[in-house]
């Protein structure tokens, strides 16, 4: 089969698609993977890469992750970027004529153009956010609303999409094709999110899509994590508030507990001051290979993105959630309710003693996280996803 994958977003949105592209290529399919420059190209990949215009990292560096600011800046900045990406993806699909199109929810026009060329459209949800169920609300809502309202909450996503224009629906009407996906794959662990009983048989929870680690730790980092307890701190692509103060509070929380801090700055949500840079109990990295470093970590503080959450649980690392936006509070709530971590802490927390208490509490969940880790380790999300696509294509 000829398979085209298109995604839009941060590292957490891009890397799962890369993992699925690699699995599809390993099965002998002709694979084309389109993404922005936010994900570095891999010349050794067994598939063809297509670069989409623009950069979400650049946009976040300008706007941060404030929802209010994003809405204000949408027409001037984000809308043109998103439109360019949508147009380019549509052009790719029409020129490649694939058999299967796998798309991120943000690339709204993909299923329409897929149906235009006779392809199967596969929606890849990074979490349950668009496929309604009575069991829990859409990932943008943290409170259980009860069966009826849980299901209705998914309409909020539809309304949100329509609020920014209905280009996909308009084109679908013009072409006389459907704008809905043929298949839906939710790339999360069934251990953390079991498949809802009321989903259609075209929707499946596959397990996380991730690549096996081929990386290793540099000498300095390897020596750092080999001696004593280490706190991992990273908030990925999140950027809001004072990143220096946030880093300061984290380091000051770790020290009285006898812990060193691995500070992962990401896209700017954490920033060390001069004391931290020169301190022997702090190591700073822009990014790290989770699979390589997490086996050496005692506790983690992170934003609660889907990819990071899965990585922590798979590695058996207890977490303190510091959620910013969208699905992150949902993951924090879900793991707390599942007995896998303490209640979340605000990213604006200014008290080291409050954060130290959360770190200490997180350690009490070690056994529960270790049990979940064994279950996640046995899952193979990309294998399950490709089996599902191949059986339906």
**By the 8 A CB rule, do 47 and 31 touch?**
yes
Tens digits of residue pLDDT in 275-290: 999 999 999 999 888 8
User: Does the reported pTM lie above 0.85?
Assistant: yes
Name the superfamily (CATH) of residues 2-211+379-392: Glycogen Phosphorylase B; (3.40.50.2000)
Name the superfamily (CATH) of residues 219-377: Glycogen Phosphorylase B; (3.40.50.2000)
Tens digits of residue pLDDT in 184-228: 999 999 999 999 999 999 999 999 999 876 677 889 999 999 988
Q: Is the pLDDT of residue 58 over 60?
A: no
Q: How confident is the model at residue 38 (pLDDT cuts 50, 70, 90)?
A: confident
**More confident site: 373 or 9:** 373
**More confident site: 242 or 161:** 242
Q: In this predicted structure, what is the pLDDT of residue 374? A: 96
Domains 2-211+379-392 and 219-377 share a fold: yes
Query: Mean pLDDT over residues 243-247, rounded?
Result: 94
Q: How confident is the model at residue 59 (pLDDT cuts 50, 70, 90)?
A: low
Q: In this predicted structure, what is the pLDDT of residue 77? A: 59
Q: In this predicted structure, what is the pLDDT of residue 86? A: 83
- Domain range summary for the chain, segments of one domain joined by +: 2-211+379-392, 219-377
In whole numbers, what is the pLDDT of the chain averaged over residues? 89
Choice among 96-105, 158-167, 192-201, 308-317 with the minimum mean pLDDT = 158-167
Q: Is the pLDDT of residue 73 over 70?
A: no
């Amino acid at each position: 089969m000829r398979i085209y994958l298109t995604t839009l977003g941060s590292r957490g949105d891009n890397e799962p698609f890369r993992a699925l592209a690699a699995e599809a290529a390993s099965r002998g399919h002709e694979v084309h993977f389109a993404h922005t420059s936010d994900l570095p190209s891999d010349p050794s990949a067994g598939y063809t890469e297509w670069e989409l215009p623009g950069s979400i990292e650049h946009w976040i560096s300008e706007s941060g992750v404030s929802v209010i600011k994003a809405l204000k800046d949408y027409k001037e900045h984000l809308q043109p970027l998103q439109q360019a990406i949508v147009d380019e993806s549509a052009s790719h699909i029409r020129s490649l004529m694939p058999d299967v199109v796998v798309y991120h929810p943000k690339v709204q026009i993909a299923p329409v153009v897929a149906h235009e060329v006779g392809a199967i459209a596969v929606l890849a949800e990074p979490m349950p956010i668009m496929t309604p169920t009575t069991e829990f609300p859409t990932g943008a809502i943290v409170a259980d609303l009860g069966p009826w309202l849980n299901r209705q909450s998914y309409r909020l996503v539809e309304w949100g999409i329509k609020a920014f224009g209905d280009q996909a629906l308009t084109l679908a009407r013009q072409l006389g094709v459907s704008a809905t996906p043929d298949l839906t794959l939710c790339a999360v662990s069934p251990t953390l999110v079991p498949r809802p009983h009321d989903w259609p048989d075209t929707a499946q929870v596959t397990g996380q899509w991730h690549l096996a680690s081929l990386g290793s730790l540099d000498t300095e980092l390897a020596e750092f994590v080999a001696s004593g307890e280490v706190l991992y701190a990273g908030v990925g692509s999140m950027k809001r508030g004072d990143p220096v103060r946030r880093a300061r509070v984290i380091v000051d929380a770790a020290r009285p507990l006898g812990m060193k801090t691995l500070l992962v700055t990401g896209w700017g949500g954490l920033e060390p001051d001069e004391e931290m840079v020169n301190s022997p109990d702090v190591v700073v990295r822009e990014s790290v290979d989770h699979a390589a470093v997490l086996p050496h970590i005692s506790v983690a503080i992170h934003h609660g993105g889907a990819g990071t959450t899965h990585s922590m649980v798979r590695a058996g690392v207890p977490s303190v959630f510091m959620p910013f936006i969208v699905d992150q509070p949902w993951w924090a709530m879900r793991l707390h309710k599942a007995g896998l971590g303490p209640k979340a802490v605000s990213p604006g927390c200014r008290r080291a003693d409050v954060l130290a208490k959360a770190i200490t509490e997180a350690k009490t969940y070690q056994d529960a996280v270790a049990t979940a880790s064994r279950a996640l380790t046995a899952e193979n999300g990309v294998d399950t996803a490709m089996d599902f696509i191949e059986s339906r294509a």
